[in-house]
Amino acid sequence: MSLLNVQNFLARLYTDENLRRDFLSASERIGRENNLTEKEIAELAAIFPEELKLFADLLVWKRLREVEKLLPLTRNILGKDFERFFRQFASRFTPASIKKHLEDAIAFADFLQTEEVEPFWVRDAAKFERAKLEFNNFGKRFVYEIFDCDIKEFIRQNANAPGEIRKKKTLAIWIKFGNKTRNFVW
């Protein structure tokens, strides 16, 4: 196996808790299934399980901190539940692009759309921040999103300690004209 393939497997080992658990319990079988040579399997199996878990936890922690910076409204609303949801998400997703933190944030916002989270406007906050990230980072000239809550009220409160956010269909549009960008919320 090439060095790049071993590095990719090691990255998956650090980020995928199920793969790590399986590898630690049946390293030869998992190694063969991932096209590792006997020598590579032995070298990876020689890493102490505690060290492997510690490094994996450090990587998830770093990813969490970077995503918190990119999704501050969502982070404020979820509070300590942000970490719990992110750890669930991180166990299933490994970013592959060169913009790993951005990819993580967008995929995490998508993940929250599928989860039962409270209050109900968490999904709208994540959807709003995702659309904003997509518009600002991918050279898009037009992005829109429809929300279930009054996103204008939500933005005004800045989600630091939102009161009761009412259900009200709203629309947000980001548009770029030449070098100028505008955002509208109805």
Q: Closest Cα to residue 35, out of 72, 1, 71?
A: 1
Give the pLDDT mean for 130-138.
93
CB 171 within 8 A of CB 144: yes
Whole-model pTM above 0.95?
A: no
Q: Which of 27-41, 47-61, 127-141 has the lowest mean pLDDT?
A: 47-61
Q: Which two tokens stand for residue 158?
A: 């800045």
Q: What is the pLDDT of residue 158?
A: 61
Output the average pLDDT for the chain.
86
Q: What is the pLDDT of residue 104?
A: 95
